[in-house]
Structure 1
Amino acid sequence: MTLCDDYGNSISTNSADARDHYDRGVQLFLGADFGAGAAFAAAVAADPDFALGHAALARALMMEGRMPEAKAAITRAETLVASANDREQTHVAAFAALFQGNPKGARSTVRALVRDHPRDAMAAQLCTNVFGLIGFSGEVGREAELLAYTEALIPHYEGDWWMMSMHALSLCETGQIAASRALMDRSLALNPRNANAAHFRAHEQYEAGDIAAGREYLSDWITDYDSRSVLYGHISWHMALWALHDGDEAAMWQAVNNGVKPGSSSSLPINVLTDTAAILYRAEIAGMTVDPQSWQDLSAYAARFFPETGQSFADMHAALCHAMAGDGERLAYIADTAKGYAGDLVRPVAKGWGDIARQNWSGALEHLSEVMATTERLGGSRAQRDLIELAYVNVLMKLGHEEEARRTLKLRRPVLSISTPVLNMH
């Protein structure tokens, strides 16, 4: 008898226990909840020859930052999948390409796979979200592409809380706030503990400027969320951001110190680095005092986890840390060598951070102006890329161009023109 997973895909295992553990792991993984890795480990313990179980375990271990174990798991999956069906072989090939540092190959493999097998959720998720293979493509129009991707998939996932949340984010990032909110409400009604949906609701509330509602919702939701989960640190960042926008400095630092900064978060290094750097600098331009040691510590963290360039979103934030910490050598290295999907944008941004640290505001304006037309290529959400928007506006303020600064926000980020966390712009 051929077994199928919860999404109706046939799977090459004869063990019902392996199938059940796998399904449990998929649900935990898609909900960004803690325990997916243990569930997938139980699946391959029940059937050591279950190729998709090993591939899923690799992905879960990757999201836990356990890369040597993850690479061993994907290698095992590749070894076992030769006798499986075409879908499973393509599924494993997509994950293998990801682990081989071939995101374009992984992306094209996933796109081909979901045309024939749209309900292969573990493969499909590789291209969802702003941190997925489309989100980090470095291409102009990637927000529209992400929307088209989830829009094509959602008819195949009727009543599915996970895909609802993914499509809701795509709607949010293309400015369709009301539609995003309605779909997110449906997702959360089906699974209130879906951390992806809770996270994306924060984005929807951010884009709508709902500060009070955002603070209240996340403060309540995170209470029952395991701090070891992959999104705990990033949701804490959203809480810190809400507090910053609300002028609640004490709550902001509490969120930073208890869930965002290095040592307080179980998130992946890219999230720890980018979230901490963003909140520290946004606090500075809002007029709050940031301990210089915080920049020193974060610069050392960036040097440890991202010593070479290639992940443009991380590189942009690493450059900010090095600039603010006064590490000119590391900053210059990024400015000179930045490569990856948006390396051509990272280089002027890095130089702009250096100018900002030296208070060379005219130089900063020149360098940041080079990237403002295509900041989406750097990756991340609109909320995350507001770091660049607000830095640019702050530079204009420093140069005395107050009216231009206000016009810029109204044109580019109207939601921030109402309550702007930039000193002297209230």
Structure 2
Amino acid sequence: MPLRDHYGNQLSTMSQQARDHYDQGVRLFLGAEYGAAEAFEQAVQTDPGFALGHAGHARALMMTGDMPAAKAAIATATELASGNARDASHVAAFAALLSGDPAGARRLVKAHVLDHPRDALVAQMCTNVFGLIGFSGEVGREAELLAYTNALSPHYGNDWWMMSMQALSLCETGQTEASLTLMEVSLALNPRNANASHFKAHAQYEDGDIAAGRAFLDDWMTGYDSRAVLHGHLSWHQALWALHDNDPETMWRAVDAGVAPGAAKGLPINVLTDTAAIYHRAEMAGLTVDADRWQTLSDYAARFFPQTGQSFADMHAALSHAMAGEGDRLAYIAETAQGFAGDLVRLVARSWLAIARQDWALALEGLVTVMGSTERLGGSRAQRDLLELAYVNVLLKLGQTDEARRSLQTRRPVLSPAPPLAAMV
């Protein structure tokens, strides 16, 4: 009798022990818990011929930032999967992503889930704001993400992972009440699902519920392994809550313990984007960010993102270079930015330079064009509030207070009652 995984998909391994390790790896990976790479490694040590075990190992290794090992694992998976249609399709989708073809990977994922909707490791690649749809650079990506999870959800029933993915899609399309309701069910089924805790924090942010958000996340983070992929980003959420609650001491503790370079153990894209965002949002709120912090971050960005191409990272790298006074690094991004939203990155980079020089009129000139399609740059609505607040702050610096208030009220009403902007006081 062929073995099947937790989601009912037939597996090529005949080893029940390998299957059990694989299921554990899938559960840990989907819940953004620490230990997925180790579980998948045990699966392939038990059965070296287990193609999807190697593919899972590659997925988990990528999320630790070990790209050479991930590519080696997917190469092994590709070779082993050649005689099995589902395995080959499963492996091909991730191989495309690892080879630098996200658009091709997206097409392969969407084709694969038509035949295998419960193949969660493949389906996962197009979920989340950091997935292949979220980073597509296209207008309307939130609606597409919701359509994608709407189509998959009926196949998963009472599954904690899919519920958390659907809840995020609802949150990013403004349906926060439905999002929170579904997230609570997901967390009840798996309280250690870091994705659900993360997306609940987003929904609470969209509701403007600072006290509840801080209390929930502070409690949930207790015991969450600092090596887990979302630890640094959840620390950013804690820092952001503290900033909005006028608690700078707690904000800096969160930044220095889990967000900034040297403290965070997550992926470089999260370290860069989260740190740049909290630094500039802190400055706009009236706090002082030491020049050494910006310089360290600029050096980090230059090390991990020396070439352009990942627009969300490039936008934040440009901010770090502008604030550190690294003109050559900034100019490279402003002149050569490629990727899914490179045209917008070039405009934002020039605006960051103008902001650093306090040339508010020039900064406004670039941001006005960008604000109509910020979703193309990637990230969640909470993350793109960096741009919303920067735009409003520039208007305030130019004395356009009424227009600044109008922008918040129409574009981000959740921030309107008490915007974290010193210039608004």
State the TM bucket, normalised to the shorter chain: over 0.9
Q: What residue is the counterpart of 1:250 in the other structure?
A: 249
Alignment of 1:1-400 (within 5 A): 1-84=1-84, 86-400=85-399
Partner Cα separation in structure 2 for residue 22 and residue 262 of structure 1: 32
Superposed CA deviations along residues 204-251 of structure 1, whole A, max 9, x for unmatched, are 000000000000000000011011100000000000000000000000
Partner Cα separation in structure 2 for residue 7 and residue 157 of structure 1: 8
Partner Cα separation in structure 1 for residue 318 and residue 36 of structure 2: 33
User: Matched residue of 1:13: which SS?
Assistant: coil
How far is the alpha carbon of 1:83 from its aligned partner? Answer: 1.8
How far is the alpha carbon of 1:87 from its aligned partner? Answer: 1.4
Partner Cα separation in structure 2 for residue 206 and residue 65 of structure 1: 28
Superposed CA deviations along residues 286-311 of structure 1, whole A, max 9, x for unmatched, are 00011110000000000000000000
Partner Cα separation in structure 1 for residue 335 and residue 16 of structure 2: 54
Quick check: 2:51–2:76 contact (8 Å CA) kept in 1?
A: yes
Partner AA of 1:308 in structure 2: Q
How far is the alpha carbon of 1:418 from its aligned partner? Answer: 1.3
How far is the alpha carbon of 1:336 from its aligned partner? Answer: 0.2
Partner Cα separation in structure 2 for residue 395 and residue 296 of structure 1: 23
Partner Cα separation in structure 2 for residue 237 and residue 284 of structure 1: 16
Superposed CA deviations along residues 34-56 of structure 1, whole A, max 9, x for unmatched, are 00000000000010010000010
How far is the alpha carbon of 1:169 from its aligned partner? Answer: 0.2
Partner Cα separation in structure 2 for residue 76 and residue 418 of structure 1: 55
Partner Cα separation in structure 2 for residue 260 and residue 142 of structure 1: 27
Partner Cα separation in structure 2 for residue 300 and residue 414 of structure 1: 36
Partner Cα separation in structure 2 for residue 226 and residue 140 of structure 1: 36
Q: What residue is the counterpart of 1:417 in the other structure?
A: 416
How far is the alpha carbon of 1:283 from its aligned partner? Answer: 0.0
Partner Cα separation in structure 2 for residue 3 and residue 232 of structure 1: 34
Partner AA of 1:65 in structure 2: G
Partner Cα separation in structure 2 for residue 192 and residue 53 of structure 1: 26
Partner AA of 1:58 in structure 2: A
Quick check: 2:393–2:423 contact (8 Å CA) kept in 1?
A: no
Superposed CA deviations along residues 19-43 of structure 1, whole A, max 9, x for unmatched, are 0000000000000000000000000
Quick check: 2:334–2:350 contact (8 Å CA) kept in 1?
A: yes
Superposed CA deviations along residues 117-158 of structure 1, whole A, max 9, x for unmatched, are 100000000000000000000000000000000010000111
How far is the alpha carbon of 1:11 from its aligned partner? Answer: 0.8
Superposed CA deviations along residues 244-278 of structure 1, whole A, max 9, x for unmatched, are 00000000000000000011111100000000000
Partner AA of 2:123 in structure 1: A
Partner Cα separation in structure 2 for residue 326 and residue 310 of structure 1: 22
Moved more, 75-84 or 132-141: 75-84
Partner Cα separation in structure 2 for residue 419 and residue 32 of structure 1: 33
Partner AA of 1:416 in structure 2: L
How far is the alpha carbon of 1:424 from its aligned partner? Answer: 3.4
Quick check: 2:171–2:179 contact (8 Å CA) kept in 1?
A: yes
Partner AA of 1:21 in structure 2: H
User: Matched residue of 1:289: which SS?
Assistant: coil
User: Matched residue of 2:100: which SS?
Assistant: coil
Partner Cα separation in structure 1 for residue 366 and residue 289 of structure 2: 24
Partner AA of 2:323 in structure 1: M
User: Matched residue of 2:117: which SS?
Assistant: coil
User: Matched residue of 2:79: which SS?
Assistant: helix
Partner AA of 1:104 in structure 2: A
Aligned length: 425
Two-structure CA RMSD over aligned residues (Å): 0.5
Partner AA of 1:51 in structure 2: A
How far is the alpha carbon of 1:361 from its aligned partner? Answer: 0.2
Structure 2 unmatched ranges of 5 or more: none
Partner Cα separation in structure 2 for residue 424 and residue 138 of structure 1: 32
Q: After the TM superposition, which parts of structure 1 deviate over 4 Å for at least 4 consecutive aligned residues? A: none
Partner AA of 1:236 in structure 2: S
Partner AA of 2:304 in structure 1: F
Partner Cα separation in structure 2 for residue 388 and residue 87 of structure 1: 42
